[in-house]
Structure formats: structure tokens, C-alpha cells
Amino acid sequence: MSALTLPAPHIIDPASVPALRWGIIGPGGIAQSFADSVHKHTGQRIVAVASQTPGKAEAFAGPRQIQHALTSYQELVEHPEVDVVYVATTHEFHREHAELAIAAGKHVLIEKPMALNAEDAEAIRVAAAAAGVLAMEAMWTRYLPQSDIIRRVLADGMLGNIELVLTDFGQDLRMIPRLVSPVSGGALLDLGIYNFAFTSLVLGNAQSVTTVGSLTDTGVDDTTTSLLSYAGGAEAIANVTLSSFTPTAASIAGTAGLLRVDGPFFTPTGLQLFPAEFNTSPVAKWKDTSGIAAHEGLCYQATALASYVEQGLTDSPLRPLAQAAADIGLIMQARHQVGAYLTGER
């Protein structure tokens, strides 16, 4: 493989899409990052926020000049100034709150994972299609510039036949109660969804998953290694842990080359293209120089959603809900294989 140039990413101009009015259900940490990124880097605007905790909506709205601070989710989804609802509550409420927005005729962006199981994810997809509104999982990595480059590299066959995808994601998050709660916690649902979504970007839906690992004292998955197998013989390995910080990088190995995604692979970073040979130097590199770093990359999914609404779509072409449901189904299998069952699953 001689010296090559990785393609420049295709990025939607934020000024080229409708300026939608957004409402947020659940103003926690991820909602703060989302709202701040959207206001800084797009023409989208947050106009309403709702929390059932007294004073929380007001505290969120004030510094962001959000007009409506509400205590009723129903009032938010029915508000005439809201075009799209961002569901940022904890995992176990995602289906309920997504369906609340859909029933009110609003488009909805659902924080990842969009549901606890494949059945709930599929129910959201069916409801959105029937209502003629767009429902989208907030798998923001799919909308980053580097992901566009990855799709184009794969489409051009630069790596040859894909043989192995490796992903790694680890942080020490055991001090966060919701992440170790048997109601909706565990490493795979919160972190591993990124690994599984990266792999399905490259290889599509897996035929099977085999997982080994350990549990927290509360009985949710702590550290796991999953082997995913695909039609045609390709495989993927996903390492996920709540117990320690790891490189959090990803790579795609093919018969003609290796593409490395710099860590953390789920945020705006960079890419390195290598020959399919051991101990060689990269023949091409790409670095994200946009200045949109870390969780500011959440803005890209908001611009994409507005584009899809303008096109009249009810599903994202870059992260179809059926694929999100399939990944969540695989994660459930992986959790159960290591003995991690959420409340009510047994």
C-alpha cells in the first residue's frame, strides 16, 4: 500500500438545515453537554426543558436562556413551540418518554442506548413510523466527521475484506449509583453500546455473541470481553469495563490494510491508515482540526436530525433504529452470558 490520502469528510452545513425548536426531558449532565454544544455550533435552539425534580429545570434553563422551564413532561411534549424532544432521562425511562413525545406528534432524539432491550427499541421504531415522525438514537459517534471518512474508506474497499474489528472502552465509573444499579446499570449498556455500534457500522448485524466477564457487587456487568461473529467469517472483539481507564481506541483490520481510530474513539479524534503488514508506519493520517472537541461533538447529531426532518424521514440512514435494536439485543445476550440480569429480566 503506497502513500495515500484519506478522504475529507462530508459535513452538513449547520446553516443549511431548518432551525428546529427543541425541548429536553431530563436535564442531567449529558443534556447540559448537548444543549451547550447545540447552541455553540448549530442553528438549533433549546426552547424548553422539563424535570420532575423541583428547581432543576429552572437551574438548567437560566444560564442557557431557555424560555420554558417545566415540571411536566406531558406539558413539554405538547408545548406548541417544541418541534423535537430530546430524551435524556435514565435508560429505563427511554421507551416511555420517547413514546410520550411520539404520541404528541413530535420528533424525538433518544439518548443511547435508546432502550433496555430490543423489544422496546422496536416498539419505538414502530410508533414513530406510524405517527410519521422521526425517532433517532443519540448515537452521536455515527455523525462525527471521522465516521463519514470510515464509511467512505469501507465503501471504496481500501481495507480489502474486513477480518477483525477491535474496540476498547474503559472508565472507572463505579462511584456513579445509576451505573451500578440493577435497574438499568452495567458497563455494556452505558459504555459498550459504543463498541457494538462501532462494530455494526463496519460489519452490520452480528450472527452471534459470546461473552466472558465479571460483575460488580450489585450484580451488573463490570468488565466484559465479547466475541461477535459475522456472516462471511469476520469477527469483532469488544472490551468494556467500569473499573479502570483504558485506551478506548478502535481499529478495523482488512486483507489490504488497517485503519486505527485514535482514542477516545467515540469522540472527534483522528485516523491512521496502515498497510496490512506488521511493524509498519501509517501511509495516511487524518486529524480532526475543526475545534469541535470531546462532547462538543454532540452537535453533529442535532444538525443531522434537522436535515432528516427536512427530508421527511422517520429513521436515520446512518443509524437505523432496527440496527440499534439489534445491537441492544446483542448486549442483552452478552449481559446474560456473564450472569448480569436487570430487575425483572429473570
Is residue 165 included in any domain, yes or no?
yes
Residue 193 lies in a domain: yes
In whole angstroms, give the CA distance from residue 191 to residue 58.
30
Whether 150 and 83 share a structural domain: no
Q: Please, what is the angle between helix 29-41 and helix 299-311, to 10°?
A: 70
Question: Could you say which of 106, 139, 172 is where a domain stops?
Answer: 139
Residues 173 and 319 in one domain: yes
Same structural domain, 128 and 147: no
Please state, in angstroms and rounded to a whole number, the distance separating the CA atoms of residues 307 and 312.
9
Distant-in-sequence, close-in-space partners of 98: CB < 8 Å, separation ≥ 6: 87, 108, 110, 114, 124, 127, 135
Do you know the residue count of the chain?
346
Question: Quick one: pLDDT at residue 1?
Answer: 55
Here the CATH number for the domain that contains residue 120 is 3.40.50.720
185 and 227 both lie in a single domain: yes
Give the C-alpha separation, 191 to 186, whole Å. Answer: 8
Give me the CATH number covering residue 248. Answer: 3.30.360.10
- Choose the final residue of a domain: 104, 139, 174: 139
Q: Which domain holds residue 326?
A: 141-302+313-337
In a domain, 209, yes or no: yes
Q: Which grid cell sits at 54?
A: 423541583
Single pTM value for the model: 0.97
Handedness of CA 93, 99, 105, 111 (dihedral sign): positive
Start-to-end CA span in the chain (Å): 52
Task: Sort 204 into a burial class: Cβ within 10 Å, 0-12 / 13-18 / 19+.
Answer: middle
Alpha carbons within 13 angstroms on the beta-carbon side of residue 311 total 13
* 58 and 117 part of one domain: yes
CA-based nearest residue to 336, from 328, 327, 345: 345
Write the CB contacts of 269 (distance below 8 Å, at least 6 apart in sequence): 146, 261, 262, 263, 287, 288
pLDDT of residue 285: 97
Instruction: Give the C-alpha separation, 148 to 170, whole Å.
Output: 24
Residue 331 grid coordinates: 448486549
pLDDT of residue 103: 98
3-state SS, residue 39: helix
Angle at 136 between CA 131 and CA 141, to 5 degrees: 170
**20 & 86 share domain:** yes
CA distance 175 to 157: 44
Let me know if residue 6 belongs to a domain. no
Clarify whether residues 328 and 295 are in a common domain: yes
Q: Tell me, yes or no, whether 55 and 149 share the same domain.
A: no
Between β-strands 135-137 and 162-170, what pairing exists: parallel, antiparallel or unpaired?
unpaired
Give the pLDDT confidence score for residue 108 in this predicted structure.
98
Do 186 and 232 share a domain, yes or no? Answer: yes
What string of pLDDT tens digits covers the 346 residues of the chain?
555 789 999 999 999 999 999 999 999 999 999 999 999 999 999 999 999 999 999 999 999 999 999 999 999 999 999 999 999 999 999 999 999 999 999 999 999 999 999 999 999 999 999 999 999 999 999 999 999 999 999 999 999 999 999 999 999 999 999 999 999 999 999 999 999 999 999 999 999 999 999 999 999 999 999 999 999 999 999 999 999 999 999 999 999 999 999 999 999 999 999 999 999 999 999 999 999 999 999 999 999 999 999 999 999 999 999 999 999 999 999 999 999 999 999 8
The dihedral over CA atoms of 307, 312, 315, 316, expressed in degrees to the nearest 10, equals: -20
- Would residue 342 count as lying in a domain? no
Phi, psi angles (nearest 5°) of residue 339? 85, 20
Does residue 9 fall inside a structural domain? no
Q: Count the domains in the chain.
A: 2
